Copies of this chain bind each other. A is one copy, B any other.
Amino acid sequence: MARLPVNPERFLSDLHTLRTFGASGVGKGVIRPAFSDADIAAREWLMAQLRDVGLQVHVDPMGSVWGLAQGPSLLLGSHTDTQPEGGWLDGALGVIAALEIARAAQEAGGPAVSVVSFQDEEGRFGVTTGSTVWSGALSLDKADRLSDRDGVPLSQARARMAHLTDDFVDPNRFTGFIEMHIEQGPWLDQAGQGIGVVTDIVGIRDMRITFEGEQNHAGTTPMHLRKDAFQALSAFNERLNAAFDELVTPSTVWTIGHVSLHPNASSIVPGSVTFSMQWRDSETSRLEQMETVVRETAAAVATDIGVTCSFGPILGLAPVAMNARLKQALRDSAAEIVPDLWREMPSGALHDATNVAAHMPVAMLFVPSIGGISHAFEEDTNESDLVNGLAVLAGAVTRLTN
């Protein structure tokens, strides 16, 4: 079984060309958020490449760019939009790898490989917005009412690409989807490994919790009579850390990332606090057990400190297990290309693959992030790791289509 003859130089050259759209900041930084001038220009450049390859170019109403092979095909890709301050790889890596593999496949007379660059994975208007709408999880009507931080509605932003767009692409034309992406975490880099084959995209639960105490004068209110909302938050955090210790795995994560204290003045005992509580794990049962611990710990702290607690709506995304057959092809390919230098691992970040999984088998592979850095100008990966990633993906495509 001959692997597709991909061209690493062409692949790296295309990656560097794509970076010129929005190149900014230090190192290899890029500013190319969804629907910006740089993003639309990059998508038009990608359309030209896909057309040159011999694929049918198609832009859906959300601005996701497709290069479609004839007949049933394997879909590869990711996204080319970036964070407001992003790196040159992130999702761009998966799109340019897909372009190179589709080009090699066309040159070789097969197999049938299609390419996608989803729009707004980075969430100017939500989270993985382009693939969410394409998958049917959110209607275009509802999505149009989303707005960015500056109050620009999605409807207005996507009108900038209206001259390019057609209908949504039918997911039934694809036999599966593989997304290559940078890890965005430290595991591969720290272990000196080159490839991560993803087992699951972790599930997320995210909620707001509020403690209401009593706002009081910070000079005249003795400690034993205070109902201090900040003290409730601090006690909750400490007890939660202790309770989670019994329950979690090394890849479970939880975060209090947002804290809003009221009235937030140095001479006033805080009357209330609202904060975010987010946790991620690859097992639904563990996500549920953690939710029970969160609710019980908050309630117990509230009782002990004499405050009240209330919970906002919980946002939940279920874990997505990667397809066994696609994952096996990635494993076999990694074992060939980088023997002993690959691992299986969950993805702690969300990806477009989460949405695509509603319609077909999906899998993912990671290459290392130097220092674990992503969503920053400093994001980077060694060229040898990029090229190995391309080879592992090409090998998996060969295995799946022979």
Report A's interface with B, CB cutoff 8 A.
183-187, 202, 204, 206, 216-225, 228, 230-231, 233-235, 237-238, 250-261, 264-270, 276, 278, 280, 347-350, 372, 374-375
Q: Which of B183, B233, B261, B375 contacts A258 (CB 8 A)?
A: B261
A372 to B225, CA, bound (A): 10
A202 partner residues in chain B, CB cutoff 8 A: 219
Taken together as a complex, chains A and B put the C-alpha atoms of A233 and B257 apart, in Å, by: 12
A185 to B222, CA, bound (A): 8
Docked pose: A49 CA to B1 CA in angstroms: 105
State whether A251 touches B266 (Cβ < 8 A).
no
Interchain nearest-CB distance for A197 vs B (Å) = 16
Give the complex CA separation of A372 and B265 in angstroms: 19
- Given known A185-B220, A216-B372, A222-B186, contact A278–B266 (CB-CB < 8 A): yes
Q: Is the CB of A375 within 8 A of B217?
A: yes
Q: Is the CB of A257 within 8 A of B237?
A: no
Q: How far is the CA of A374 from the CA of B250 in the complex (A)?
A: 49
On whether the beta carbons of B222 and A253 are closer than 8 Å, the reply is yes
Chain B's closest residue to A237 (CB) is B234
Contact B230 A259 (CB under 8 A): yes
**A225 and B372 alpha carbons, distance in the complex (Å):** 10
Measured in the bound complex, the distance between the Cα atoms of B349 and A225 in whole Å is 16
Name the CB-closest residue of B to A255. B218
Kindly state the separation between the CA atoms of A269 and B222 in the bound complex, as whole angstroms.
34
Query: A221 to B349, alpha carbons, bound, how many Å?
Result: 9
Taking the closest CB of chain B, its distance from the CB of A45, in whole angstroms, is 28
* A256-B230 in contact given A217-B184, A350-B219 (Cβ < 8 Å): yes
Q: Would you list the 8 A-B pairs with minimal beta carbon distance, nearest first?
A: A185-B220, A266-B276, A219-B348, A218-B255, A220-B348, A184-B220, A219-B349, A234-B237
A217→B374 contact, CB < 8 A: yes
Q: Is the CB of B266 within 8 A of A259?
A: no
Q: Are A253 and B218 in contact (CB under 8 A)?
A: yes
Question: Are A280 and B219 closer than 8 Å at their CB atoms?
Answer: yes
With a CB–CB cut-off of 8 A, which chain B residues contact A230? 237, 256-257, 259
Which residues of the other chain, B, contact A237 by a CB distance below 8 angstroms?
Answer: 230-231, 234
Interface pair A223/B269, CB less than 8 Å apart: no
How far does the alpha carbon of A348 sit from the alpha carbon of B257 in the complex, in Å?
34
Within the complex, which residue of B253, B266, B276 is in contact with A257, where a contact is CB–CB below 8 Å? Answer: B266
Given the complex, which residues of B lie within 8 Å of A187, measured CB to CB? 222
Report the nearest B residue to A127, measured CB to CB: B267
Q: Hey, which chain B residues are within 8 Å of A268, CB to CB?
A: 255, 257
Question: Which residues does chain B contribute within 8 Å of A256, judged by CB atoms?
Answer: 230, 270
Q: What are the residues of chain B within 8 A of A374 when measuring CB–CB?
A: 217, 220
Question: Cβ of A222 and Cβ of B250 under 8 Å apart?
Answer: yes
Q: Judge whether A220 and B259 touch: CB under 8 Å.
A: no
CB–CB A185/B253 < 8 A: no
A221 in contact with B257 (CB, 8 Å): no
Cα distance A194–B92 when bound, in Å? Answer: 74
Q: A271 → chain B, closest Cβ, in Å?
A: 10
Q: Closest chain B residue to A253 by CB distance?
A: B223
Q: Smallest CB–CB gap between A39 and chain B, Å? A: 21
Q: In the docked arrangement, what's the CA distance between A194 and B128, Å?
A: 64
Residue on B with the closest CB to A269? B255
Cα-based distance from A184 to B217 in the complex (angstroms)? 8
Please give the distance in Å from A399's CB to the nearest CB on chain B. 28
Q: Taking CB as reference atom, which chain B residue is nearest A221?
A: B185
